Amino acid sequence: MEIMQVQEDLVCTRSVKNLEGISLRVMKDLKGNVLCASDPVGVGIGKWVVTTSGSAARWAMPNYASITDLTIVGIIDNWE
């Protein structure tokens, strides 16, 4: 899993069916890379979170058919 910070929301009006209705966030990882994660937790901008990748990202969603490969799974209690 990786430690990332939520940067902003991301909207895709036109998408494949299994991405519809899923909250997407622009993320920055600890090396400064910008990625896109699905967010089943509901996290505010600026928060530091733990993300999981690969097939685990689908298991972390309410609906396993969600075609994400990166999901926010927890908000870190204390991270500078």
Q: Interface residues with a copy of itself (CB under 8 A)?
A: 1-3, 10-16, 18-19, 24, 26, 30-31, 33-38, 40-41, 50, 52-60, 65, 67-71, 73-78
As given in the structure block, the two tokens for residue 41 are 């937790």
Q: How far apart, in whole angstroms, are the C-alpha atoms of residue 26 and residue 35?
A: 6
CA-based diameter of the chain, in Å? 38
Assign 45 to helix, strand or coil. Answer: coil
In the complex, what is the shortest distance from the CB of residue 46 to a copy of itself, in angstroms, rounded to a whole number? 15
In the complex, what is the shortest distance from the CB of residue 42 to a copy of itself, in angstroms, rounded to a whole number? 9
In the complex, what is the shortest distance from the CB of residue 44 to a copy of itself, in angstroms, rounded to a whole number? 11
